Structure 1
Amino acid sequence: MKALVLAGGTGSRLRPFTHTGTKQLLPIANKPVLFYVLESLAAAGVREAGIVVGSYADDIRLAAGDGSAFGLDLTYIRQDSPLGLAHAVSVARGFLADDDFLLHLGDNYLDGGVTDFAARAAAEPAAARLLVTPVPDPSAFGVVEADPAGRVHRVEEKPDRPRSDLALIGVYAFGPVVHEAVAAIRPSARGELELTHAVQWLVDHGHDVRADVTTSVWRDTGSVDDMLEANRHVLDRLDGRLDGKIDPDSAVVGRVRLHEGAVVRGSRITGPVVIGPGTVISDAVIGPYTSIGANCRVHDSSIEGSVLLDGADVDRAGRIERSFIGRDAVVTVPRHPYAHRLVLGDHSKVHLHP
């Protein structure tokens, strides 16, 4: 079975970070979201995967390469404009041919991966198989109505009055008949070819469409809060390993992953925490659920429940909580009046005054 990974979206909810990079390469526990997807597909037995890419195609190609690092053979497929998920399927038609395939959104994190789902799709082929999960507010998602046996009767995109609490989570299995459905639908009111419309076309034309319910932790990492929650979840499973340098005046407590080349001086680190290579932590307190990328500097500051991307510099910034700080961003403050929450894009500079 082939796989198609969609990584061509604009990521408007993650601006300003997506002004300078693609959301699929933003990190969870210092590893790009996209890498979790590729590893999951490889673990499920996929060997050929296509990645639909847009304006940040070069960045994604540079990061993922030919796929050999994941056990995959990757093909890059250009989508000139983000005209919908079904449009992405249509531009990948040549790669997919008439094969069954898994489709996975490149910015979605699913704990435990797709191995079981892929196995069911292979053992019991259907025109479409949808992975869904119960959510408290289904109106924000594509919503699936299915009978107790999992046969799908209706799929709606962000309905005002949902008739089910089962939300699509961005993982699908399709047979080749989906290409007929994609060719038959027309753009929605927002000008996109909606995958939910293609699935509903399959239902309306009598094809077998199934829903598989999962209760695994899932995050659509389309917002800063989603990224922080996904980071927290992955760090909860972190194995500690101290490969960097820690001076005698420092204390490291709990599960901390300190990469080779990182330095901790006069600081306290309380895990779960991951700190990338080349990063220097001095006279600082790094609290639980924090990921700090490579070549960062944190001095005379306290950071908890946050993500710092590569090259971030935080100096005398007091207490920072639940923040997402971009690449090469600089944060300084002369005094420590209270806690701050920051969402800073790449190359930002912030000077906080009491």
Structure 2
Amino acid sequence: MTYGRADGVVKQVGFLWAANWTFVFMVFLPLFFAFVTELVTFWKDEGRLKLTAQGDRVESDEAWARNVESSSYSFWAVFLICVLFAGLFQWIGVSLIPLMKGGGNYATDWGSLAIVRPEVISVPEAVVFTGLAYLYMCLCFYLFLVGLILLYTVVHDLWRIGESVSSRPEIDYQHELNEVSLRVMQGIFRCTVLGVLIAIAMKVQSAYLTSSGKNIVAWLVGDMSSAFYGSNDVSDAIGYRTPTHYSSLLIVISTCVVFVYGSIRLGIDRRFCMPMWRMSAVVTLLVAGYLLIDAFAGFSILLTVGVLLAIYGLFDPGFGRWRASELGNNQSVS
């Protein structure tokens, strides 16, 4: 679906062209949930059992359940924030009021197309559709934040176990601790990458809507070419309000907090030097690409490099060189 803007630009605003709805909910979030599930299952059923002194599965499962239960208030707080603020209040402010009364100074997208093209979709239909979409969105992001809380719980639990048995000098045990710690950090790295990719998709879509690009692909390609030919047309933006910028920033911050916490708790030893540097460098590059979206002509080049490295890191978080066996070799030498 397209609409003609007042300045003569015809923009593509169809739902399937909205990266913050298609890529986020069809690709990135399902992968995030899969990686969180894989890591939590590994820690609960295998990693934790290896490291606990008693090695009893029932007692280990009960201890893990108590750790999760201790975060129950966090789960409820996140639920209320997502439903009330990310869902209800944002829907009322961004979609419902502009659809019913107009105004708001938001860029036209699929949710507000009824204002400018009522022959395509009526206002009542848009109200119902956007309401369902925001309800689905807030529930998905509630699960996203629950996943981050679980990742934090895994890191904290692993750190406490490592501290409680730090007096055990056995090489085999230290090797197992190193392997489990690396496995956990690689899982958190994957989830961090996906969290930042979600934020990138949200901000790119928001920036595109305020730009002069005809569709999001043409806008990004035009930005790449502008870096070489000196044209700034694709960076000419109208001063619409962009609440998605703030939402995506909160996602980046919350995601990176878990990664930084894990790096501090688990990655300060020299055995993690190289893999942690590589993972941290990719996350830093990806966050830099996010922050610089639409900041200068050619931003999409930096963004593309970061996204490609991040996607590679999803398949090989060790980036081809570091292997768990090296942990044992380093420990034996020391």
Instruction: Tell me, yes or no, whether TM beats 0.5.
Output: no
Q: TM-score per shorter chain, which class? A: under 0.3
Tell me which protein shows more helix as a share of its residues. Answer: 2
TM-score of the superposition, structure 2-length normalised? Answer: 0.23
* TM-score normalized by the length of structure 1: 0.22
* Higher-Rg member (1/2): 2
Greater relative contact order (Cα < 8 A, sep 6+): 2
More strand by share: 1
